Each structure stands twice: as C-alpha cells, then as structure tokens.
Amino acid sequence: MRSIHINCDLGEGGNHDKEIMPLISACNIACGGHAGNLETMQHTVDLAMKHGVEIGAHPSYPDKENFGRISIKIDPKELKRSLVAQILSLKQITEAEGARLVHVKPHGALYNDCQKDEKTAAVVLDALREFDDLPVLYSPENSVIVRMAEGEFRVIFEAFADRNYNSDHSLVSRLKSNALITQKKEVFDHLFAMFNDRKITTNSGEKIDCRADTFCLHSDTPNSVEILQFLHRKFLENDITIKNVS
C-alpha cells in the first residue's frame, strides 16, 4: 500500500484543529507572526503529540493585521529577528514536551516571496542557520529558495490540494474567486492527479508537471474537516494511506 503525506496549517485561531489533527501527517503551527501565541502553540503541540503528527513552525511576516497574506516592507535584520523569535518560541515549547520540531514552512506572503525573491529567501535561510539542528524546509519545487538551499538544507517539496495553479506553477491569487478549491470531490481529483500522475491541471486547463512530497490542505478552507474525511475514504479505496514520512 502506498502512502501520501498531508500537512495542514494549524494554531491560527480556527475552530476545527482538534478534528483536523487526527486526519493529517504534519502540522505547521502559527508562532506569533500572523497568528498564534504561547498558549495556542502549547495547545497545538499537545494535540500533535497526542496523535503522532509531525510538528513544524509556520513563521510569517510580523503582520497579524493582514494575517501575513500581503508582502510588507521590513528591514532584513528586523525580519530575521522576528523569524528566529517565532521559530524559537515554538521549538522551546515542543522540546519542553519531549517532542521535536521537524520542519519550517513560511506562511502566506513570505512563502510566496521566497519563491521568487533572492533577498527574502536569503533572510529566511539565514534565520534557519541560527539553529544547530537545521530543520527541514517546506517549499514548492523550482523556487528561488530551493535553489539557494541546495546542499545545505533538506527540502520537502510541497503542493496544495485546495488551491488552483497558474501555468508557471504559481498559485492563483487569493484575490481571485477561483483561488480555492472547496468541493471535496474536486479537491480529491486535483490531489490524486498530483500524487498519482504527477500532473497539475492549471487554471487555464493546461497540464504541468508536479513534483511533491507533501500536500497541504488549509484549515480555514470551508469544510476542511469534511474534505479530509472524504480524502481518507477515497485514498483507502485506492490502496493509499495518509501517514507521515519521518
């Protein structure tokens, strides 16, 4: 039986983290940049440990007002300090509970900027270098940060189960009405094609290559719990299990 790795952004103030956690392989925990605080981090770490889910940090531009989803002008040194503080806060909570921080996945606009901007990618990688045990980096393939991380960081390639793509592998902007895929069957079809056929059907109908080791479903996508439950059933029908890769 084959296995698929599913990750989800949690600890962001949503109402369904408890229901989502048993259905995923890895969680990316908000650590104060766009959402979250010490209390929510502690709660989410406890949930992840209860269900054997991999723990990752989900740092962001320090911009709770916009949920970290717009690029902001910030001094590189200030951004690095913020990212180190965010990751460190979650790392300390995780290790105090006897668990391990496995990976780091930038959030929102920071994630997108790292794909195309060398200066932003350099700040993120420089922040990760502050940690002796370098965490795994989640990123899409063919991104600037992947090229810059080569030979130094382990990278897990990521694709999105609930987002539409443009022909250049970028995500359709959230400002557009078709950015999200919310119907459970459509999510499954999109995800299964990426996993099984290694193909993405873009917004224009073009099929482009997909190389991914983990697939993200956002916790704030409507009916996220129902979608995940449906994915479990459909994957079992196809002799595929959802589990972690550690």
How much is the pLDDT for 1? Answer: 87
Cβ contact 45:69 at 8 Å: no
Contact 124, 103 (CB under 8 A): no
d(CA 211, CA 137): 15
Task: Spell out the CATH class of 2-242.
Answer: alpha beta
Q: What is the DSSP string of 106-142?
A: --HHHHHHHHH-HHHHHHHHHHHTTSSSPPEEEE-TT
What per-residue confidence (pLDDT) applies to 244?
58
Which helix (DSSP H) or strand (DSSP E) does residue 213 occupy? Answer: none
In the chain, where the domains are located: 2-242
The pLDDT tens digits for 68-117 are 999 999 999 999 999 999 999 999 999 999 999 999 999 999 999 999 99
Percent of the chain with pLDDT over 90: 92
13 band by pLDDT with thresholds 50, 70 and 90? very high
Res. 246 pLDDT band, cuts 50 70 90: very low
Q: Residue 138 — pLDDT band, cuts 50, 70, 90?
A: very high
Q: What is the pLDDT of residues 31-55, one digit of tens each?
A: 999 999 999 999 999 999 999 999 9
- What's residue 245's pLDDT? 45
